[in-house]
Structure 1
Amino acid sequence: MSTILFELGCEELPPKSLKTLRDALQQSFIIQSAAANITFDSIKAFVAPRRLAIQIKGISAKQPDRTEEKRGPAIKAAFDAEGNPTRAAMGFAKGLGIEASELTTINTDKGDYVGYVQTVQGQATTELLPTIFQTALDNLPIAKRMRSGASRNEFVRPVQWAVLMQDDAVINATIQGHQTGNQTRGHRFHSPDYHTIAHANDYEQLLDGLKVVADFDKRQMLIKNQVKALADEVNSDAIVPQSLLDEVTALVDFPIALRASFEPRFLQVPQEALISTMQADQKYFCLTDKEGKLQPYFIFITNIESKDPKQIIEGNEKVVRPRLADAEFFFLQDQKQPLFVLTENLKNRVFQDKLGTIWEKSERIAKLAAFIATLMQQQGQEIDINETVRAGILSKADLASSLVGEYPELQGIAGTYYARLNNEPEAVAASLEEQYLPKFSGDVLPKTAVGICLALADRLDTLVGIFAIGQAPTGSKDPFSLRRSAIGILRILIEKQLPINLVALVEQAIKGYSTSDGSKIAKMGDTFTQVMAFLNSRYRAMYTEQGVSVDTIQAVQAINPHMPLDFDQRIRAVQTFSELPQASMLADSNKRVANILAKSEGAVANEVNASLLTEEVEKSLYQTVQQAQLDVMPLLDTANYTQVLQTLVSLDAPLTQFFADVMVNSEDAALKANRLALLKQVRALFLTVADISELQL
């Protein structure tokens, strides 16, 4: 058992791909070694800007020997009448390098054959490794490979050296066109020369001494700890997005964190703009106070241990100043005119070729948002309709601003800043940012009532418009993010506890496209049907992500509720019901009831004739059904679906007994019709919540 070390030295690897390359290399080796029957105790992958490496400890010296059964011609063809081997048998034996006398008989269901069991010696691991590592490199997820100089070998970056060792010995091979050896290089500036690796176990320790922290996770932890320590010194919190942390970790061999500052005057600019430019362009970590307000500091990671860090700090402060000044310029430039004036520019900006301008979209949003606000008012919520209309008109104004033109990710955020500077009502200002929430799965929802109206109106308008022009999502293509928009609509209505019907919202959104010049939607009925079907289809994606079983979702979808909040309440009720001991039997009974009713000829009566109930069992079921009908009525009025299903559990025993003792399809037509009517009432009770027969318990 020994240690194997493989390292590929390159020019600086693409930082955003570093972790992916590391993980793919390790996974490929694990898969290939398993296929080759090579075992090992542990494996560790390393990655730094100029290297990819794997260290495998406790690896087996060779593949285990294995036996292979070779089958030859049939016995009848292998031996003649006297039992002597024929030319067929001798040819088979010669091919295996044995005498015909060494052949054995193999019995199969298709007859007997001659054969031979031979032992295949396992190959030495060192013989297999070069091919395994080269294959792993060839299979790395690299979007675009390159060739260096006259070499025909392709890789993501030019390769400079290759190491392949078993303990203290070099495994001779050619990988990526380079002869393997036992020499690596350290930090590009601190230790640029080649250094000999005495033993494969010494790899990480040797590089540490050469100012290279080869372990990505260890390097990342060093960065996090240094950043936190520097932030604590000025009583601040660092903003450390994981994607930025990964990228910075991938850019350095030997991370040294330094803190710099910028002029406090830049803090008048929306902090989102400052943070955006410092993170995206400079890879800096910004600092905020405990309330989340940006502070005039930033932390950056350098790749060298400088004798005079002050010069590096001053250099970074000099570089960042023009970027912050640009953001300041755009911000001040936009303030030369009120936010409302910017809406004029939207009249020349196309939202979608067939759906008009962004200004027209703003007008539709304002009308639809006002409609939603009216519904919310009717439900007792405090919301100003005029403020909602104003917010709708201003909703896209900042798209014409210089700040958003330079920083598109600030759409909505810039509008909120400008609205406050223009002394717009706070409800209007806050809603301009909130209209884009939620931005992604699990994101926060708008908090204000006006923000909720705008968020719903914006998504509904886009959804209806894009479906109307025949550009609905197909397969993996969803250029307008309609799936995300649909889930956003459902989440808002559910999590904000808004009992609003989707039918009303979609119909109103479609009406919004009607103008004095006619409607931009040719087939309103088709558009309505398609949008409703699309919204209903999103329930499955949304709830399965929450861990809700598919059959539970199907049970509720079967009755097609049009109110998302109501849909959610039914889902929760069915989930609770599914955990009851009687749930499985009741689900089976409901399937049976549904099948019987589906096969019945003609219409089934709604009322039961009590005088035709002849069996005690069916009388008992009828009485239980009548009582259940009385009990669930007030519960349905309050949408207490969980308690409705709890109440209907009382039907379990009499329904089970009914099927055991009563023949539904009686020869007496009147009895049969009456029993079908009774089962119809049973079915109707459960369908007040969901189709329980869909459950697979």
Structure 2
Amino acid sequence: MRQDTLLVEIGTEELPPKALKSLSDAFTDALVQLLTEQEFNFGTVRSFASARRLAVQIATLDAQQPDKVVEKRGPAVDVAFDAEGTPTKAAEGWARSNGITVADADRLVTDKGEWLLYKAEVKGQPLSALLPELVQQALGRLPIPRPMRWGNSTAEFIRPVHTITMLYGADLIAGEILGISSGSHLQGHRFHCPQGTNLEHADNYEQTMEKAWVIADFSRRRERIQKGIDQLAQELGGEVLADEALLDEVTALVEWPVALSASFDSNFLTVPKEPLIVTMKDDQRYFPLHDKNGDLLPSFIFITNIESKDPQQIILGNEKVVRPRLADAQFFFESDKKIPLTNRIEALSSVLFQKQLGSVKDKSERISEIAGKIAELLGINRAVPERAGKLSKADLTTQMVLEFPETQGVMGMHYARHDGEPDGVPQAIYEHYLPRFAGDSLPQSLAGCTVALADKLDTLVGIFGIGQVPKGDRDPFALRRAAIGLLRIIVEKDLPLDLQELVAAAKSSFKSGTLTSATVEDDVVEFLLGRFRPWYQDQNIAVDVIQAVQARRPTRPVDFDQRVRAVTAFRELPEAEALAAANKRVSNILAKVEGEISQDIDQGLLTEAAEIELSKAVGAARISSSKALDAGDYTGALKALADLQKPVDTFFDNVMVNTEDDAVRKNRLALLSRLRELFLRIADISVLN
């Protein structure tokens, strides 16, 4: 059978840069899956994606599906024939549906009976006959939230489509997709090769595109951009901070990248660097430069999509474009400094946080109160957290933040420093938004931690308190993110805080009648405890380990984390499996007991050698594990309990718990209860798999 390379390319208008990589991956995955389902064999698969194309190249692909034998079972023989051996209507109908007579049918004999059987050899269809529909299906699976139409066509795609190419080796596969007939003509670079080019063989796709001034391979284009940026940064004596998302976006915007550098007036450096960086990155897709101390340099690197004969004109054009944006930032900064943050608090009254929960001013006052209470729990001075909490949202009314929302918090820090706020207040204002996303940095100062916790608690308790609990994918107030951020701060900063106390403190800051939920405290604590599971799963911690700890409901996050680490270590011990099974058995036995189980063990009723030995082992384990627990060493406590494996196994092998002697039975249940209680001080290891 012939095997050759397949090339499928969809030539479009400029695709959304932030979605390009996901579209490319989805298209490749879908086409590969569909070909696999159709039983085609093939070799290596490559994806190509640029601003105006999505392409897939598949090596050594079969030209035709393999032939196969299809078996269709019919009715059972005793149903297919009557007493005289005449075919029934059921048998005849089945035979007709398969294009045969009952006499032509084979027989399938199994140990369960005998059935009529139809065997047919189905010839594999050629790739050329199936591919157009497969490509259409693959395109239909792409994550396109809002497809568009163009011209008079009824076809829909994320952007207008100009060319469709399906080439198998040197052979063009005919077909129409999205209203476009397949052809070998490809779009070239919009400026360097506007006439396009023809592809003669699927193997030559990458080289053909490069001659048309298109680097079609996303990774190669990205590497070229990175290399150009690094080289220019070195020449300019600066560094470009890593920004993978920006690098991917720029890679998606261009097809023939050329790195150039430009500069701006150093007077703009009197403005804090953050809004300057935002306008260069987000508005212009530039790469700002820093010196070794992290200070912004009056230079930037940008990527152009053409190989210009006069690059200086492009440089001057970009400098001209960025200058007014930087001037705006400078104007906003100078204007904002004229009004101290403390004078801006009242303006927050007109900024709505949530209709039932009031304004942002109300929220900042609650944050201040909660932060003060958390500071007391931590044993630190409450003045700085309270002041930072009161000013935490004041920069939302500044022109800078209104123009550059990404700078909220950081501009509050800069303005607080300008206003001469006490030491620690500016930093806490900035840090109270942290962490902003998964993997983001945490507040460094204790004051920053308290205000960050207060902000997140206020949102969680407030939104839960009015009954707007996150459901499914709906989480408009980002409560899940707030919850994990809160847990991260407490655990990673090793703060001795209890969720129950924190939630109660947050609830008390709301005015009477604001919160309508009678169960808000329990609901928020349970929600926070529930967030441990996705957080730990991201760290590749086993689900059953998390469940073992959650069963004990420890509400101090640091304590919860220590237990998880201990159970994870215990799970790797050779004794763990047997002890987990024994605990499960003990749990099942105790669950069936009616009435209370005695807390005392009568040593005189212990007659079997195995139960005497287990009682001694439990006593010794209680002493050794208690010493470890008193030191906060859960791992050491579980290791001490691991010594119980042999006496527990021996007990169950040789002792009947539910004996007819009532006193002996109750005594043995008390012993098992004492055994289980030792483990439950840390976690319910009976749930371990």
With normalisation by structure 1, the TM-score equals: 0.92
Change (3 A) 1:602 1:396: same
The question of 1:470 aligning with 2:467 is answered yes
Match of 2:500 in 1: 503
8 Å contact from structure 2 (residues 272, 414) kept in 1: yes
- Asked whether the equivalents of residues 363 and 393 of structure 1 are also in contact (C-alpha less than 8 Å), the reply is yes
The 1:592/1:8 distance shift into structure 2, 3 A limit, reads closer
Partners of 2:417 and 2:88 lie apart in 1 by: 101
Cα separation, partners in 2 of 1:105 and 1:291, compared to 1, 3 Å: same
Partner of residue 127 from structure 1, selected from 113, 126, 129: 129
Corresponding residue to 1:137 among 126, 136, 139: 139
Which residues of 2 match residues 492-641 of structure 1 at below 5 A?
Answer: 492-514=489-511, 518-523=512-517, 526-641=519-634
Partner of residue 669 from structure 1, selected from 662, 665, 668: 662
Secondary structure class of the residue paired with 2:519: helix
In structure 2, the partner of 1:384 is 381
The residue aligned with 2:678 is 685
Structure 2 portions without partners, runs of 5+: none
Contact 2:544/2:687, CA 8 A, preserved across alignment: yes
User: Which piece of structure 1 moves more, 358-367 or 442-451?
Assistant: 358-367
Give the drift of 1:77. Answer: 10
Q: 1:207, 1:405 → 2: CA distance?
A: 44
| Displacement of 1:259 | 0.4
1:655 aligns to what? 648
Q: Following superposition of structure 1 onto structure 2, how do residues 17-416 of structure 1 map, counting pairs within 5 Å?
A: 17-69=19-71, 103-108=104-109, 117-377=119-379, 383-416=380-413
Amino acid at match of 1:667: E
Q: Deviations over 1:46-65 (max 9, x none)?
A: 22222222333222222222
Distance 2:344 2:176 in 1: 64
- For the structure 1 residues 102 and 592, does the alpha-carbon distance in structure 2 shift closer, same or farther, using more than 3 Å as the test? closer
1:79–1:186 CA distance, 2 compared to 1 (3 A): same
Once residues 636 and 87 of structure 1 are traced to their aligned partners in structure 2, the CA distance between those partners, rounded to angstroms, is: 78
Partners of 2:169 and 2:516 in 1: how far apart? 75
- 118 and 336 in structure 1: CA distance in 2 versus 1, 3 angstrom threshold: same
How many Å separate the matches in 2 of 1:60 and 1:521? 66
Give the Cα–Cα distance (whole angstroms) in 1 for the partners of residues 433 and 75 of structure 2: 74
* 1:469 Cα offset (Å): 0.8
Quote how far apart the aligned CAs of 1:456 are.
1.0
Deviation by residue 1:23-66 (Cα, 9 ceiling, x = unmatched): 22222221221122222223323222222223332222222222
Deviation at 1:637, TM superposition (A): 2.1
- State whether residues 367 and 512 of structure 1, in contact with CA within 8 Å, keep that contact through their aligned partners in structure 2: yes
Q: Alpha-carbon deviations, 1:381-403, whole Å to 9, x = none?
A: xx432222211211111112111
Q: Secondary structure, in 3 states, of the residue corresponding to 1:146?
A: coil
Deviation (angstroms), 1:495: 1.2
Q: Residue 440 of structure 1 aligns with which residue?
A: 437
Contact 2:261 2:301 in 1 (8 A): yes
Q: One-letter code of the match for 1:172?
A: A
Contact 1:369/1:392 (<8 A) preserved: yes
SS at match of 1:5: strand
What amino acid maps onto 2:677 in structure 1?
A
**More deviation in 288-297 or 591-600?**
591-600
SS at 2:302's partner residue?
Answer: strand
What CA distance in whole angstroms lies between the structure 2 residues aligned with 1:557 and 1:80? Answer: 64
Q: CA deviation at 1:211?
A: 1.1
Matched residues in 1 for 2:613 and 2:89: separation? Answer: 86
| 1:482 is aligned to 2:479 | yes
Contact 1:103 1:115 in 2 (8 A): no
What SS does the corresponding residue of 1:237 show, helix, strand or coil? coil
8 Å contact from structure 1 (residues 103, 114) kept in 2: no
Q: Secondary structure in 2 aligned to 1:649? A: helix
CA distance, structure 2, for counterparts of residue 132 and residue 57 of structure 1: 17
1:431 Cα deviation from its structure 2 partner: 0.8
- The unaligned stretches of length 5 or more in structure 1 are 378-382
The 1-side partners of 2:83 and 2:455 are apart by 91
Is the CA contact (8 Å cut-off) linking 1:263 and 1:296 kept in structure 2?
yes
Whole-Å separation in 1 of the counterparts to 2:570 and 2:487: 23
Change over 3 Å in CA distance of 1:119–1:316 after alignment to 2: same
Would the aligned equivalents of 2:467 and 2:516 in 1 still touch at CA under 8 Å? no
1:622 to 1:85, Cα distance in 2 relative to 1, 3 A: closer
Paired with 2:153 and 2:204, the residues of 1 have a C-alpha distance of: 31
Report the CA distance shift for 1:689/1:88 in structure 2 as closer, same or farther (over 3 A).
Answer: closer
* Deviation sequence 1:359-409 (CA, Å, 0-9, x none): 2222221222122112222xxxxx432222211211111112111111111
1:282 Cα deviation after fit: 0.9
Tell me, yes or no, if the aligned pair for 1:185 and 1:192 is still in contact at 8 Å: yes
Amino acid at match of 1:491: R
Question: Contact 1:240–1:285 (CA<8 Å) still a contact in 2?
Answer: no
Residues 627-672 of structure 1, C-alpha deviations (whole Å, 9 max, x = no match): 3333333322221111112222333333333333333334333333
Equivalent position of 1:380 in the other structure: none
Aligned CA-pair RMSD? 2.9
Q: How many percent identity over aligned positions?
A: 48
Q: Is the 8 A contact 1:7 1:52 kept in 2?
A: yes
CA pair 90-352 structure 1, distance change in 2 beyond 3 A: closer
Equivalent residue of 2:441, what SS? coil
Matched residue pairs, number? 686
What is the identity, as a one-letter code, of the residue corresponding to 1:54? V
Write the distance in 1 (CA, Å) between the matches of 2:294 and 2:302.
19
Provide the C-alpha distance between the structure 2 equivalents of 1:90 and 1:466, rounded to a whole number of angstroms.
67
Alpha-carbon distance, 1:112 to partner: 6.0
> For residues 368 and 166 of structure 1, do their structure 2 counterparts lie closer, same or farther at Cα, with a shift above 3 Å needed?
closer
Structure 1 residue 421 corresponds to structure 2 residue 407: no
CA 1:259–1:586: 2 relative to 1, 3 Å: same
Residue 464 (structure 1) shift: 1.0
Q: Structure 2 CA distance, aligned partners of 1:73 and 1:527?
A: 62
SS in 1 for 2:424: helix
Q: Deviations over 1:101-129 (max 9, x none)?
A: 99353234687666654433222222222
Aligned-partner Cα distance in 1 for 2:588–2:469: 36
Query: 1:425 offset after TM fit, Å?
Result: 2.6
Change (3 A) 1:21 1:556: closer
1:413 corresponds to which letter in structure 2? V
1:8 equivalent among 7, 10, 27: 10
Q: Distance in 2 between matches of 1:178 and 1:584?
A: 62
State which drifts further: 63-72 or 455-464: 63-72
Output one character per residue of 1:546-604: Cα deviation in whole Å (capped at 9) or x when no partner.
22222222222222212111111111111222222222222222223333333333322
Question: What code does the residue aligned with 1:203 have?
Answer: Y
Shift of 1:694: 2.3
1:257-306 alpha-carbon deviations (Å, 9 max, x no partner): 11011111111212111111111111111111123221111111111111
Is this contact kept in 2: 1:558–1:691, CA < 8 A?
Answer: yes
Cα separation, 2, equivalents of 1:522 and 1:93: 69
2:82–2:88 contact (8 Å) kept in structure 1: yes
